[in-house]
Chains A and B, each alone.
Chain A
Amino acid sequence: NAGVTQTPKFRILKIGQSMTLQCTQDMNHNYMYWYRQDPGMGLKLIYYSVGAGITDKGEVPNGYNVSRSTTEDFPLRLELAAPSQTSVYFCASSYLAREGRGEKLFFGSGTQLSVL
Chain B
Amino acid sequence: QQPVQSPQAVILREGEDAVINCSSSKALYSVHWYRQKHGEAPVFLMILLKGGEQKGHEKISASFNEKKQQSSLYLTASQLSYSGTYFCGTETQPGTASKLTFGTGTRLQVTL
* Interfacial residues, chain A to chain B (CB-CB below 8 A): 31, 33, 40-45, 48, 50, 56, 58, 90, 92, 94, 96, 99-110
Contact = CB atoms under 8 A, between A and B. Distances in A.
The 10 closest A-B pairs by CB, nearest first: A42-B102, A107-B41, A100-B94, A104-B44, A102-B47, A43-B102, A48-B98, A42-B104, A102-B30, A107-B42
29 contacts: A31-B96, A31-B97, A33-B97, A40-B105, A41-B105, A42-B2, A42-B104, A43-B87, A43-B102, A48-B96, A48-B97, A50-B96, A56-B98, A90-B41, A90-B42, A92-B97, A94-B96, A94-B97, A99-B94, A102-B32, A102-B49, A103-B47, A105-B34, A105-B44, A106-B44, A107-B41, A107-B43, A109-B40, A110-B41
A103 B96 contact: yes
Nearest to B34: A105
A33 B89 CA distance: 15
Q: How many of chain B's residues touch chain A, expressed as a range?
A: 20 to 34
A104 to B, nearest CB: 4
Contacts of B104: 40-42
A95 to B, nearest CB: 10
B66 interface: no
Given A31-B97, A107-B41, 20 more contacts: A31-B96, A33-B98, A40-B104, A40-B105, A42-B2, A42-B87, A42-B104, A43-B42, A43-B89, A92-B97, A99-B94, A102-B30, A102-B32, A102-B47, A102-B49, A103-B47, A105-B97, A105-B100, A107-B43, A108-B41
Contacts of A101: 49
Interface of B: 2, 30, 32, 34, 40-44, 47, 49, 87, 89, 91, 94, 96-98, 100, 102-105
Given A42-B2, A42-B105, A102-B32, A58 B98 contact: yes
